[in-house]
């Protein structure tokens, strides 16, 4: 079993070489935006999870770097295209690709990135390729479906918690689950362990997104790394807003609707007012409870893995850090 820290360092080293290669490939105007979007960073959670899952069943997870890079490329492709669709100007503190290079470049470079992830996958051990490609392509489509629901929710008057959870399962959790299962498949794990790692990933991925939504309201701007209250300003139907609408009293519901109907408002004032409703209605606590529920279910899957208990330490730590994370 290899630590996240170790795997992150060795993956990042290889990945930087890959980024340099991409940057200098012709046509430069196609590949430079790809390199730009990749070198801006990110936590590299998905490739590290893939390599860590592999390390539970083999001593040499490094041979799976291409697959790990494939998943990181695909994830960044989705961010690149999502930013166009969501008109999100800033990504990780720098201008989004479509802002820096224009929408056409962002569309085409994103397309190439998505395809490049499949080209990287083609380097997998031939015998493993059918199951890897099937899992990856199904997951990739789920991510698109999740983004579709996310966009649709913006136009809908009402979204239920169940609908919201299904959306984040598709948009966020599926790729995390896929990362873990891909690592396990590549390392030759048995079906049951592959299945359990997938389910662990799905549950922890949902908890991860709920925490992300919560931090968007209650986080610290400096440690979280993005503007706090963004979801509130945009009336994004997160678990917090949906819960608050269900749980709050009539006066607060009117207040929520009034704030959401305003097109001209003081951002700080709106964020403060809605945050207070989230807290007082119990929506914040309900979101935390739901997060804990998914975390605990994830740990239950981890417990069922038929590997040495000591080998579960890193994933246990990952799951618990997730609940207390500030960024």
Instruction: Give the binding site for its own copies (CB under 8 A).
Output: 27, 29-30, 81, 84-85, 104, 107-108, 110-112, 114-116, 118-119, 121-122, 126-127, 129-130, 133-134, 137-138, 140-141, 144-145, 147-149, 151-152
In the chain, which ranges are continuous DSSP H helix?
4-23, 28-39, 45-55, 65-86, 97-101, 103-121, 129-155, 161-168, 174-186, 191-218, 221-224, 230-233, 239-247, 250-261, 267-281, 283-304, 313-324
Torsion, CA 163, CA 165, CA 171, CA 175, rounded to 10:
-140
Shortest distance (Å) from residue 171 CB to its own copies: 12
- Shortest spacing between CB 123 and its own copies, in angstroms: 8
d(CA 30, CA 298): 40
Whichever of 108 and 260 has its CB closer to its own copies, that residue is 108
Closer residue to its own copies in complex, CB, 75/81: 81
Query: Structure tokens of 263?
Result: 């097109």
CA angle 277, 147, 282 (to 5 degrees): 15
To its own copies, the closest distance from the beta carbon of 248 in angstroms equals 29
Q: Are 207 and 298 in contact (CB under 8 A)?
A: yes
Question: Nearer to its own copies by C-beta: 12 or 111?
Answer: 111
DSSP state of 169: I
Cα–Cα distances (Å) from 97 to 35, 102, 142, in that order, read 10, 7, 23
Q: In the bound complex, what is the minimum distance in angstroms from residue 326's beta carbon to its own copies? A: 32
Q: Which is nearer to its own copies, 139 or 238 (CB)?
A: 139
Q: Rank residues 59 and 156 by Cβ distance to its own copies and give the closer one.
A: 156
d(CA 206, CA 221): 22
CB closer to its own copies out of 171 and 295: 171
Least Cβ distance, residue 98 to its own copies (angstroms): 10
Q: In the bound complex, what is the minimum distance in angstroms from residue 45's beta carbon to its own copies?
A: 21
Distance of closest approach, residue 251 Cβ to its own copies, in angstroms: 36
Pick between residue 142 and residue 314 the one whose CB is nearest to its own copies: 142
In the complex with its own copies, the residue whose CB is nearer, 99 or 108, is 108
- Distance between CA atoms of residues 125 and 28, nearest Å: 31
| Residues ≥6 apart with Cβ < 8 Å to 194 | 181, 184, 185
CA distance 146 to 110: 18
Which tokens belong to 163?
């609908």
Beta bridge partners of 91: 94
We find the least distance from the C-beta atom of residue 7 to its own copies, in angstroms, to be 26
3-state secondary structure of 92: coil
In whole angstroms, give the CA distance from residue 173 to residue 208. 8
């Amino acid at each position: 079993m290899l630590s996240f820290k170790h795997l992150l360092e060795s993956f990042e080293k290889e990945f930087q070489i890959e980024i340099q290669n991409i940057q200098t490939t012709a046509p430069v105007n196609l590949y430079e935006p790809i390199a730009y979007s990749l070198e801006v960073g990110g936590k590299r959670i998905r490739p590290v999870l893939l390599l860590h899952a592999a390390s539970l069943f083999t001593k040499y997870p490094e041979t799976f770097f291409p697959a790990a890079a494939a998943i990181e490329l695909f994830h960044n492709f989705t961010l690149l295209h999502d930013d166009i669709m969501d008109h999100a100007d800033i990504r990780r503190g720098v201008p989004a690709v479509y802002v820096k290079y224009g929408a056409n470049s962002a569309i085409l470079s994103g397309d190439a990135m998505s395809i490049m992830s499949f080209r990287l996958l083609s380097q997998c051990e031939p015998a493993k390729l059918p199951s890897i490609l099937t899992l990856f392509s199904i997951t990739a489509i789920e991510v698109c479906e999740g983004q579709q629901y996310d966009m649709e929710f913006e136009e809908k008057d009402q979204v239920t918690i169940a609908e919201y959870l299904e959306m984040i399962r598709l948009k966020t959790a599926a790729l995390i689950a896929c990362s873990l299962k891909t690592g396990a498949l590549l390392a030759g794990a048995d079906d049951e362990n592959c299945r359990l790692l997938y389910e662990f990933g799905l549950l922890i991925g949902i908890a991860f997104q709920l925490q992300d939504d919560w931090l968007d309201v209650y986080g610290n701007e400096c440690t979280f790394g993005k503007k706090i209250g963004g979801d509130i300003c945009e009336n994004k139907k997160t678990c917090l807003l949906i819960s608050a609408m269900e749980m709050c009293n009539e006066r607060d519901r009117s207040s929520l609707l009034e704030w959401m109907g305003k097109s001209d408002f003081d951002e700080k004032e709106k964020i403060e007012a809605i945050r207070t409703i989230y807290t007082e209605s119990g929506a914040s606590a309900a979101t935390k409870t739901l997060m804990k529920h998914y975390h605990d279910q994830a740990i239950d899957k981890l417990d069922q893995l038929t590997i040495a208990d000591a080998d579960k330490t890193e994933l246990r730590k990952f799951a618990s850090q997730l609940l207390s994370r500030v960024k």
